[in-house]
Amino acid sequence: MDNLLEVNNLHVSFDTYGGEVKAVRGVDFSVKKGETLAIVGESGSGKSVTTKALMGLIPSPPGRIKEGEILFEGKDLTKMKDKELSKIRGKDIAMIFQDPMTSLNPTMKVGNQIMEGLIKHQKKSRSDAKKRALELLELVGIANAEERLKQYPHQFSGGMRQRVVIAIALACNPKLLLADEPTTALDVTIQAQILEVMKDIQKEMESGIVFITHDLGVVANVADRVAVMYAGKIVEIGKVDDIFYNPKHPYTWGLLGSMPSLDSNDDELYAIPGSPPDLMHPPKGDAFAPRSDFAMKIDFEQEPPMFKVSDDHYAATWLLHENAPAVQPPKSVQTRMKGTTQESAGGDGV
């Protein structure tokens, strides 16, 4: 299947008074039609900057795409002028932002905000746009849609506002949906409902989704593939089962080890020691080495290439080199891996 989106060697920098911040440093990934790719990592790893680059929303100055290409249906978005991009934004590529209160215009009725894209991109009349807006509110699970169209964002709860943001993003049936931590500010119950809405809508529209999150629990429920980002780079990428049950990079081990698990008897959650590096002065070698218990001398000297684990699974760690010593993941990660092995072998699993 051809890729809907293909990102090749993407570099994004920000020029500050202190110097150049290299926020994204050579990112490669692709998304197929109907597929969900989750990008995970700590705050500051480059997830949101990558997503905004896909939409052409990097503020210039101080930001700029230094290098690379973003191919959407074979066309390079980095070569397009803002006028060309504005025809794609909202129509073919739509974005669900993290905070619905800042995404919505507080002075406009919700109905007008949903109808805006329909009138601009699909040239619908106001009556047809209103009819579609009603359908979208019902699609995302908002009752009394007719009445709700006439209300302002402050009259909605946080979960309802996020549903409105999703309705706006879906208004023009986008081929690619970018979701930047769309459930972070919501409680667990509403979060589950929003994720269910997104999955149902994807099935209906066959949209590709890039889902940004730091919550690995969310990833397990929504993603087909997962890209793990650290210090502006993708350090591991694979199918969701590869990342959860056969992880290879020490950073992925750390993220999984810090997740609560019913299988663990530990009283305390694991926390990755140290802090992410300063991307104004990226470290030599593997950027995660100073925080890793498994770092070798070469990690501080040379950056590891992407080693192939399987046709769909790659990881940038020297531990996969043929001459590297054999090491075992932390106990908490091994427990998770063993649990899945039993399930796939036909055990009870639960």
233 part of a folded domain = no
Domain match, 149 and 17 both = yes
CA-closest candidate to residue 318, choices 330, 334, 306 = 306
| Rounded-to-integer distance, Cα 130 and Cα 116, Å | 10
Q: What is the CATH number of the domain that holds 135?
A: 3.40.50.300
- Domain boundary pick from 223, 257, 283: 223
Residues 300 and 188 in one domain: no
Q: What span, in angstroms and rounded, lies between the C-alpha atoms of 185 and 158?
A: 8
Residue 243 domain-assigned?
no
Q: Does 239 map to a domain?
A: no
Query: Structural domain of residue 64, as residue ranges?
Result: 3-223
| 312 falls within a domain | yes
User: Does 121 lie in the same domain as 56?
Assistant: yes
Per-residue pLDDT of the chain (350 residues; tens, 9 = 90+): 588 999 999 999 999 998 999 999 999 999 998 899 999 998 889 998 999 999 888 888 899 999 999 999 989 999 988 888 888 887 889 888 777 777 888 999 999 999 988 888 888 889 898 998 998 888 788 888 889 999 999 998 888 888 888 888 888 788 899 988 877 766 777 777 778 877 877 887 788 999 998 878 788 888 999 999 999 999 999 999 999 989 999 999 988 888 776 555 666 667 788 889 999 999 899 999 999 989 999 999 999 999 999 999 999 999 999 998 888 887 777 766 665 444 433 333 32
Distance (Å, rounded) from C-alpha 142 to C-alpha 161?
10
18 domain residue, yes or no: yes
Strand partners, 227: 39, 237
Whether residues 63 and 207 fall in one domain: yes
- Are 173 and 263 within one domain? no
Helices 126-139, 110-121: crossing angle, 10 deg rounding: 120
How many angstroms separate the CA atoms of 323 and 287, rounded? 21
Residue 228 lies in a domain: no
pTM value is 0.86
CA-to-CA distance for 238 and 236, rounded, in angstroms? 7
Domain limit, last residue, from 189, 223, 257: 223
- 274 and 190 fall within a common domain: no
**Same domain for 198 and 95:** yes
- 291 in a structural domain: yes
Note whether residue 229 is domain-resident.
no
Are 216 and 253 found together in one domain? Answer: no
What total number of domains does the chain contain? Answer: 2
What the block records as the tokens of 30 is 């692709």
Same domain, yes or no: 190 and 100: yes
If asked whether residues 106 and 157 sit together in one domain, one would say yes
Q: Tell me: do 187 and 134 sit in the same domain.
A: yes
H/E element, 55: helix 47-55
Residues 98 and 141 in one domain: yes
Q: Could you identify the residue written with the tokens 């290439």?
A: 305
